[in-house]
Structure 1
Amino acid sequence: MLKIGIVGGTGYTGVELLRLLAGHPQAELRAITSRADAGTPVSQMFPSLRGYVDLKFVHPDEAHLDQCDVVFFATPNGIAMQQTRALLDAGVRVIDLAADFRIKDIAEWEKWYGMTHACPDLVAEAVYGLPEVNREKIRQARLVANPGCYPTAVQLGFIPLLEAGLVEAGSLIADAKSGVSGAGRKAEIPTLFSEAADSFKAYGVAGHRHLPEIRQGLANVFGKPVGLTFVPHLTPMIRGIHATLYGRVRKDADLQALFEQRYANETFVDVLPAGSMPETRSVRGSNLCRIAVHRPQGGDTVVVLSVIDNLVKGAAGQAVQNMNIMFGLPETTGLNVIPLLP
């Protein structure tokens, strides 16, 4: 059994981790930290976990995280980098679901996240946890930077095209929409029900924190920098990301076959039949990314539709998938969850 600690278990990502790990046959939850809610039973805060998680939240100073096999950070940006070195020195593996270790260019990270990085040397060691690209590196990793939700959906949609050199890499467009849970479990006016319901809006058009992460990932696949316009939107739903991706085709190819072959051995990427239109509800609660590829009117534009649950494949589910890889378990362990419908 893997002894597991979770730092910051009171947010949406934290409760999703708890839901998945509570049903994981090789996971033993040892500690779930919260400074503000120490002593509160987890099932009191999250009634859905009653009968599945019997622990109480504990103060980080009393969590004995150094006795765990792996620690997940489900915390705001800037927290994991303060504690990771001590855990690694104690022989604990770390999976950070925030952005502290995702971007290799420290100056770029500090520009977008507005703080000084506490351990830039560990950024170089951290493995970017997109299994469909970095599986072998993840197996050996001590520290995994779990990808963001938008970057997961966008990269999985563009990767086959860039690997095959089939699109003009200087003019990619990602038009992406996210449910409100992507903003986290906090009280902010833009995500209040009366503000977000019955409405639809773009945000971060001038620049979003996930933009450098996506560019970095796509450049690593393509072998040189790519040009990307990324526009996120807030939609009046709780879960889900829908990314509509555009590229200019450089040469003719069977795009359907390309995607099917690229992801043929990827359990958590489902390439739909030609002509399909994936819906966010088709992945709700699951670790799946569902993809459809189109070439409207047979023209020179390829359109890829990519959908995920932002809290699962976009966060907690992918983190558990990475844990499974790191400890030599089948990737599907604890993740064989059928999507919820309706």
Structure 2
Amino acid sequence: MISNCTREVLRRAVEESGLPGAALGVVDAAGERATLALGHAALEPEPVPLDEEFWWDLASLTKPLFTAREVLRGVEAGVLDLGDPLSTHLPDLAWMQETELRTRTLRQFLTHTAGLPAWAPIYAWGEAGTIRARLLQEPWPVSAPGEVVYSDLGYLLLGTVLERVRGRPLRDFALDPGLTFTPDPERTAATECCPWRGRVLRGETHDENAWALGGVAGHAGLFGTLAGVLSQAESLLRGGWLSPAGQAAALSPQAPGRTLAFVAAQPGWSGGSLAGAGAFGHTGFTGTGLWVDPARGLAWVLLTNRVHPSRHGPFDIQTLRRAVGNTLLAGRE
């Protein structure tokens, strides 16, 4: 399933273009798998060879693989509804303020159509308790709902909803095998030499906002092995990721270019231009990604540490993602 062309694309990225390491996994509708790992888990402070069992900081793959899935599990269990306004579960939100944010629904937050800004440096606000309190009381500028604005802030609020409804912190939620919030640093691919923390990050969340909240938040903090993330892709392809009704809801179009949990195939999509109209996927800032093309009976996972040793390097991760998707799909009937 991994063609020589795909292997050559990844070899060039690692050996000639400066990508430290990459792990690719592919699974088809029959459950047959193929995997490949190249390069290094770390280059600094010393080289560490990569193998397929290493953990990866999944970054924004946390959104679909954990937060959106847990929200939908809450819907399946009858403790949440996609039409619930945020104030239903966060009654203290924007206390003593007038804001439409309280009326925006869980569905709008899942699809990034709630009107929130994309990001804010909340890690600079202080300690975790202060950040959690201020997140709910900050007078966020809220635009009209409907337009897709990819927002970490919206998923931070969804994470808070989950903690309130389930009565426990996110790090205590059960996870599937191959996923964790607490990886072994010695068996984790390095991300950045972080200027703020003053060290190379291995086994701790790269995202500053999630790290400031204790390492886990609704938008980032999940780690996974190649096998673990590939199992998520397989469940999305073959069924069983949620109940049949829940999975159908998660994958149905909800907003321009968005399902409830994923990005739908569209021009310029990270999964490549050969993907079918029903394909979907998601990426993470650290260089991770998962894609599923049901019509072709194929799903694939590409995990890289493209931010190592710095996010400001010249490597073009989007071009690599599209090239991998296109070369994999070119071999399908």
Provide TM-score, normalisation by structure 2: 0.24
Per chain length, whose mean CA-contact separation is higher, i.e. which structure has more relative contact order (CA < 8 Å, sep 6+)?
Answer: 2
